[in-house]
Structure 1
Amino acid sequence: MRVTTRLALFAATILTSPPLMADEPAKPKLVVLVYFDQFRGDYLARWKGEFGEGGFKRLTADGAWFTNCHYPYAYTVTAAGHSSVATGCPPVDHGIVGNDWYERAAGKSVNCVGADRYYQVPARTKEGADEDEKKGAKGGVSPDRLMKPTIGDALKAGTGGKGKVVGLSLKNRGATLPAGKTPDAAYWMDGGTGQFVTSNYYRDGVHPWVAEFNRRKFAEQWHGKTWERFRADIDYAKLSGPDDISGESRGAAGQGRVFPHPFEPTDMKTKPAYLNAFYTSPFGNEMLLELAEKAITAESLGADDVPDLLTLSFSSNDAIGHAWGPDSQEVLDVTLRSDRIMKRLLDALDTKVGKGKYLLVMSADHGVCPLPEMSRKQGRDAARVQPAASAKVEAFLVEKFGKQSSKWVEAISGPWVYLSDKTAKAAGVISADVHQALAEWLQKQDGVSATYTRKALTAGIPDTDATGQMVARSFYPERCGDVYVLLKPYYLSSATLGTGTTHGSPWEYDTHVPLVVYGTGVTPGVRAERVAPLAAAAVLSKAAGVTPPSGSKYGVPEGLFGASGK
C-alpha cells in the first residue's frame, strides 16, 4: 500500500482537520522543523559571542527564543525526542519508548523504525553508519511503530493531501519519525555507501533529484583530509576545555582524541569505517544541508499558497558529542559550524521561498551528560557504574527465589529490566513481588538514584514525585520492562560505555534543549517561562493553518503569535 492510499485512510480515520479557510490570515508557504541531534539547551547562550551574523544570532534576535525548554519525560533518547516533538505528546502516548526495546511477543530486541516486511531502496549493504544504526536496518524502514500522527500527517490531512512533506536526516529514525506516516519523501544516509536511501514503504525508487545527488558522491570528498578547527582566531580551550580530556573516546575509524582528526582509513576496502568517521564529523551535516537545498528546489517547497513541511535532523552533533563530550573542543567546533549551517539554511529559504514567507522551529531531541571524568574534576559526584548487569541481576533473583529451568531476566534494554512471568509462575511467586524485590535490591547498588516498578507506574506516581512522573511519561506498558533503573546525576552505565558519554536521563543536562521559533507572525524576544519542545507540533500547525496532530498535548506558548496570546 503506497503513501497515497495511506493518506486517504489516515485522514479519514484519525485526522479530521478542516481545509484552510479563505478568511485565514496570511500563512507561511513553508514550515520547517530543524533538529540538531544532541544540541544541549545551554549551547546557544554559552557560545553566543562566537557565532557569526545570520545564523543562530539571527534566529535568537529576530525569533522567539525559549531559554527554559525541557523534555517532560525521563528516557531522553533520539527516537523518543523526534517523535515527541513531531506528535506533541510523550512516549506514554506515541509509543516510541526508545531507539530499541525488547519485544516480548517476538522474544527479541526491535528497532523503533525497523520493518522486515519492507526493504531499503536502493538495497542496503550489511554495514551501518554506527552500531546503533545497524540494529534495525537489516530490512526496510517504516514509521509503523509510531502510534500517534505527527505534524507531517496533520499537514497532509489539513491540506487535503496538497501540502508536501519531506523528511531528511543522516539517521533513518531522524528522517522517518518526524515526517510521519504519509510524507512525499523520507531519506537518510546508508552507512555502507554514503548515499541517501529510502524504503519501499514510501516508494520503489529514489526521486530523480536524490539519484542525481547520490551520483556526486558527496561523502567521499574528504578521503585523505583532516578535520581541523573551524576558527583559528579563538581560544578553544578557554571556551570549552582541554583538547585531550580523560574519558574521551577516539572518535571513529582512528580519528584520535585530539585535533586534527584524520578521515582514516582511506582504503576503499574499509569504506564503511571511513564513512563512520565522516558521520562523526561536522561534514555529515554539510552533506545533509546540500540535500535539503536540493529538495527545496526540486520539490518546489513553499512555491504555492498551500503550505509545505520540511523536517531536517542534523545527526553529526550527536556522534561527536558521544565521542568527545559536551565540554570538548570538538563539540564547540561542530556548534560553531552548525551556526554556519543555519545561516546557509536561512539564506536558502530567503532565496528559494522568500523572506517572510516561511516559519522555522529549531530544537533538539535531547541533551547530553558531561564525561564523568570531567565532572569529577569540577567537584561533582560522578562515576561509570553497572548496577543492573544481567548476570548480577540474575544471580540475585536465583538467590532470592531459587534457580528455575528458565532465566529470571528476559532482557535489559536502556533503563528497563524485563523479567520473566513464566519463571515466576514456575517458582510459585507473584511477578509483582519479584519486580518489587529486584527494585529494592537495585536501590542499594552503587550509583542508583531510584527504581520504579511496573505496578507503581501503572497505579500512578504521586504528584510529589516529579521525577517519577517523568518516568511514567516514558512508560508505554506493552513495550517497556518491569523495573526502571534511574542512575544518580552525572553517573553513566559502564555496560557499553568505557569512554565517551551518552544521554537518556530525566536530569537537566539531558532534558534541557533549545526552542526557537522564527518567521511569519512570530513575536520576537527572549522568553524565560518553562516550556516543552513538544509545543513545536502546535506551533507548526498554527502557522500552517491546520489542526494539530490528534494526540498533541502541548499548546502554542502564550503570546507567540501576537497580543491575542496564540
Structure 2
Amino acid sequence: MKLLVLVFTIFFNAISVSGLFAQKRKEIPPETPKLIVGIVVEDMRYDYLFRFWDNFGEGGFRKLIDEGSLCKNANYDYLLTQTAPGFATIATGCDPSVHGIVSDYWYQRLQNLTAFSVFDEKQKSLGSTKDIYPYSPKNLLTTTFTDEMKIFNNHRSKVVGISMKPEAAILAAGHLADAAYWFDEASGNWISSTYYFDSLPNWVNQFNEKKFSDLYLEREWLPMLAEESYRNGAQRGLASSVGFAGENTFAKKVNAFIKKEAHYGVLKANPYGITLTKDFAVSAIVEDQLGQDEFPDFVSISFSVPSKVGEACGPNSVELEDIYIRLDKELEHLLQFIDEQFGKHNVLMYLTSDHGASYNPEELTKMNIPAGEFNSDRALMLLGTYLNALYDKGKWVIDYNNKQIYLNHQLIEDANLKIPEFQQVVAQFMIQFTGVANAITATTLEQTNYSTGVFSKLQNSYNQKRSGDVMLNLEPGWIEKGDYLSTANSGNNYDIHVPLIWYGWKIGRQRISRTVYMEDIAPTISNFLNIPFPNGCTGSVIEELER
C-alpha cells in the first residue's frame, strides 16, 4: 500500500512539474510580437504620472511602470508641438522638417488656402451624416514603421489607427494602413474615409447602431473621489475651474452642454469619451482579428479626452485629475483584455503622448512667475500697419498660423523688393512684442545649421515647402491668446517632455534616465521586428530595451 501511494505521489508530482514547465514554455515570448499596441494619451505631461500616482490603481499606469521600462527623459526635439506633428514623429522616426507635418494646419501657397494636415480633396467620408471629412495620410512625406512592416511582410500584417481625432488615427497608422477610424461629432458615429474602404466594415456599422454615444450623453460626470483625496483639490477646491462650454463640469449633466454645442463633440471633453474609445478599440482588435497569426499587427489607440479637458480646465484642475483617474481604470480594463486575449508575452505595448501642456499663465502670474498671453491678432494688425507705412498699402501678410507668418511673395516681388530682406524687416518688428523670445526668418533657417538650443528646435519644425517666412518662439510661460486655459505648441520643457513606457513581450523592468527622443520610437520597433527603418528616419534605437 505504501509503495502504491509512493508511486502515485511521484506520478502526480511529475505531472505537476511537467505542467509547470509547459506553462513556462508557453510564456516564452515569440521572436517577434504578435501584436503591437501604441497608446497615446494626448497632452499628457510627464509629471502627470507621478502627480496623480497616489490615486492610480494597481492595474493601469502603475502596472505599466512596475512591470515595464520607463524612459524618464523622453522629449520632442522641435518647436511646434501639436497633435499632427506628434503622431507623425512617433510613426516616422523623424521630425517635421523631414516628414512634412509641420503643424495641425498650414498655408498652402499653390492652392491659396489654409489646409488641415490630413485633408485630401480626392477622398470622401464614410459613416458621417455630413461629407466634410475627406481625409488621408497623403501629406505625410515619409514612410512609417507600419508601412515598412507591411512591405516587409508582403502586406500580411494588419495596421489600424483609432482616435477621436482624425489626424491622430490617420498619421499613426501610415500610408498602407488597413483602416483608420475617428469620431464624428455630428452623428456620434465612428467613421473613416474612402482612402481605406469603399464602405465601412459591417462590424463598425453594428457598433454605431448600438448608439453608445447617446447612452454616454445621458450620464453625469461626478467626481470619483472626495475633495480632500484629489492632489489638485487640496490647492483649488473641488470643481473650482471653468470647464467645457463655459460650465462647471462636475455635478452638471452632459446634456446641459448639448444645448450649447448641438453635437456629440462634448464626448471629447468628458470621461465617457475615454470609455467609448477603449470599447471601440477592443472591438477593432477582435473584429479585425489582430494578432492572430505569425505576422505582427499594429493598432494605435489615442485617447483625446485629456487634451480637451486640459485645455478647458488647466493642468492644476480637479477635473483633469479626475479624468486621469478614470483613464487609469480604462487602461486596466484594456490590459486585462490584452492579457486574456493574447498573453502579455505576445504583445509589445508602448504608451506616450503627442506633446505636453502649459500651465495657465494667469495662475503663474499670481505666483509672481513670468507668464502671459501673446495676442497674435493684435500683433499682426500692427505689423500690417507698419508695413503699409514703410512700403505701399497692400496685403503683405497673406496668412498666419501656429506662430508662422506667411508673406505675399508675389506682392513683394512686384514691388521690386527682396524676399529675404523683407522677411528680416518682419522678424525685427515682431521681436519687439512682449512675450516674443525669438523671431527667425526662413532664409536664416535654410542657410544656417543649428545643432542645439531653441534655434535647432525651430529648424526641426521648419519645412521649406510648408512653413512660414517668419517663425516665432514665445518666452517660457507664455501662450498665444485663445479660448483655452492651457495649450502646447512650444519647445519648452512642459511641452516637449512626455511619458514613454514600454511593456510586454521581451521588455524588462527598468528605468532609463538618459535623454531619448520621440524619433527613437519607430527605429526601436523596427529593430525589434528586424525590418527596415522608415525611409526618412533620423532617430536611434533605444538599446537599453534589448538588455
Q: Shared topology, TM-score over 0.5?
A: yes
Please name the residue that 2:441 is paired with: 453
SS at match of 1:516: strand
Q: Pick from 203, 210, 219 the counterpart of residue 216 of structure 1.
A: 210
**Unaligned regions of 5+ residues in structure 2, if any?**
1-28
Please name the residue that 1:516 is paired with: 501
Query: Which deviates more from structure 2 when the two are superposed, residues 424-433 or residues 482-491?
Result: 424-433
Amino acid at match of 1:455: T
Q: Deviations over 1:399-429 (max 9, x none)?
A: 22232xx410100011100011122123222
Q: Pick from 532, 543, 546 the counterpart of residue 517 of structure 2.
A: 532
Please name the residue that 1:491 is paired with: 478
Q: Deviations over 1:6-51 (max 9, x none)?
A: xxxxxxxxxxxxxxxxxx9622110111100111111112222221
CA–CA distance in structure 1, aligned partners of residues 209 and 465 of structure 2: 43
CA–CA distance in structure 2, aligned partners of residues 157 and 110 of structure 1: 30
Amino acid at match of 1:535: D
Amino acid at match of 1:181: H
CA–CA distance in structure 1, aligned partners of residues 238 and 444 of structure 2: 44
Amino acid at match of 1:478: K
Q: Deviations over 1:181-203 (max 9, x none)?
A: 11111110111011000100110
Amino acid at match of 1:262: K
Q: Answer yes or no: is the 8 Å Cα contact 1:387–1:447 preserved in 2.
A: no
Please name the residue that 2:253 is paired with: 262
Q: Answer yes or no: is the 8 Å Cα contact 2:239–2:319 preserved in 1.
A: no
Please name the residue that 2:47 is paired with: 42
CA–CA distance in structure 2, aligned partners of residues 552 and 148 of structure 1: 8
Please name the residue that 2:389 is paired with: 399
SS at match of 1:141: coil
Q: Pick from 401, 407, 428 the counterpart of residue 419 of structure 1.
A: 407
Please name the residue that 1:7 is paired with: none
CA 1:554 to 1:116, structure 2 compared with 1: closer, same or farther past 3 Å? same
Please name the residue that 1:225 is paired with: 219
Q: Answer yes or no: is the 8 Å Cα contact 1:375–1:382 preserved in 2.
A: yes
1:239 Cα offset (Å): 5.6
Q: Answer yes or no: is the 8 Å Cα contact 1:244–1:257 preserved in 2.
A: no
Q: Answer yes or no: is the 8 Å Cα contact 2:104–2:117 preserved in 1.
A: yes
**Unaligned regions of 5+ residues in structure 1, if any?**
1-23, 127-137
1:314 Cα offset (Å): 0.8
1:338 Cα offset (Å): 1.5
CA 1:266 to 1:560, structure 2 compared with 1: closer, same or farther past 3 Å? closer
Q: Answer yes or no: is the 8 Å Cα contact 1:178–1:311 preserved in 2.
A: yes
CA–CA distance in structure 1, aligned partners of residues 484 and 334 of structure 2: 34
Amino acid at match of 1:342: L
Please name the residue that 1:133 is paired with: none
SS at match of 2:236: coil
Percent of aligned pairs with the same residue? 30
CA 1:226 to 1:245, structure 2 compared with 1: closer, same or farther past 3 Å? closer
Amino acid at match of 1:378: M
Q: Pick from 148, 171, 178 the counterpart of residue 177 of structure 1.
A: 171
CA–CA distance in structure 2, aligned partners of residues 223 and 192 of structure 1: 13
Q: Which has the higher helix share?
A: 2
Please name the residue that 1:84 is paired with: 89
Q: Answer yes or no: is the 8 Å Cα contact 1:242–1:328 preserved in 2.
A: yes
CA–CA distance in structure 2, aligned partners of residues 546 and 271 of structure 1: 50
Q: Answer yes or no: is the 8 Å Cα contact 2:87–2:172 preserved in 1.
A: yes
Please name the residue that 1:116 is paired with: 121
CA–CA distance in structure 2, aligned partners of residues 459 and 249 of structure 1: 46
1:139 Cα offset (Å): 4.5
1:493 Cα offset (Å): 1.4
Please name the residue that 1:477 is paired with: 464
CA 1:296 to 1:499, structure 2 compared with 1: closer, same or farther past 3 Å? closer
1:266 Cα offset (Å): 7.5
Please name the residue that 1:367 is paired with: 356
CA 1:498 to 1:182, structure 2 compared with 1: closer, same or farther past 3 Å? closer
CA 1:544 to 1:341, structure 2 compared with 1: closer, same or farther past 3 Å? farther
1:244 Cα offset (Å): 7.3
Q: Deviations over 1:194-243 (max 9, x none)?
A: 10001001101111211111011111113443211122385226567415
Please name the residue that 1:273 is paired with: 262
CA–CA distance in structure 2, aligned partners of residues 258 and 335 of structure 1: 15
1:531 Cα offset (Å): 0.6
Please name the residue that 1:380 is paired with: 369
Amino acid at match of 1:555: S
SS at match of 1:285: helix
SS at match of 2:439: strand
Amino acid at match of 1:141: Y
1:339 aligns with 2:324: no
CA 1:431 to 1:530, structure 2 compared with 1: closer, same or farther past 3 Å? same
1:462 Cα offset (Å): 3.7
SS at match of 1:531: strand
CA–CA distance in structure 2, aligned partners of residues 508 and 162 of structure 1: 40
CA–CA distance in structure 2, aligned partners of residues 384 and 294 of structure 1: 43
Q: Answer yes or no: is the 8 Å Cα contact 2:71–2:513 preserved in 1.
A: yes
In the TM superposition, 1:191-340 aligns within 5 A as: 191-232=185-226, 235-236=229-230, 238=232, 241-243=235-237, 249-252=242-245, 256-257=247-248, 259-265=250-256, 273-340=262-329
CA–CA distance in structure 2, aligned partners of residues 510 and 55 of structure 1: 24
CA–CA distance in structure 2, aligned partners of residues 276 and 309 of structure 1: 27
1:97 aligns with 2:102: yes
Select the structure of larger CA radius of gyration. Answer: 2
Please name the residue that 2:151 is paired with: 157
Please name the residue that 1:430 is paired with: 418
Please name the residue that 1:61 is paired with: 66
Q: Deviations over 1:137-175 (max 9, x none)?
A: x34111000001112212111211111111111111111
> What TM-score, normalized to structure 2?
0.91
CA 1:400 to 1:82, structure 2 compared with 1: closer, same or farther past 3 Å? same
CA 1:169 to 1:238, structure 2 compared with 1: closer, same or farther past 3 Å? closer
CA 1:239 to 1:357, structure 2 compared with 1: closer, same or farther past 3 Å? farther
1:461 Cα offset (Å): 4.0
Please name the residue that 1:131 is paired with: none
CA–CA distance in structure 2, aligned partners of residues 321 and 238 of structure 1: 13
CA–CA distance in structure 2, aligned partners of residues 49 and 397 of structure 1: 55
> What TM-score, normalized to structure 1?
0.88
Q: Answer yes or no: is the 8 Å Cα contact 2:42–2:83 preserved in 1.
A: yes
CA 1:524 to 1:266, structure 2 compared with 1: closer, same or farther past 3 Å? closer
Please name the residue that 1:442 is paired with: 430
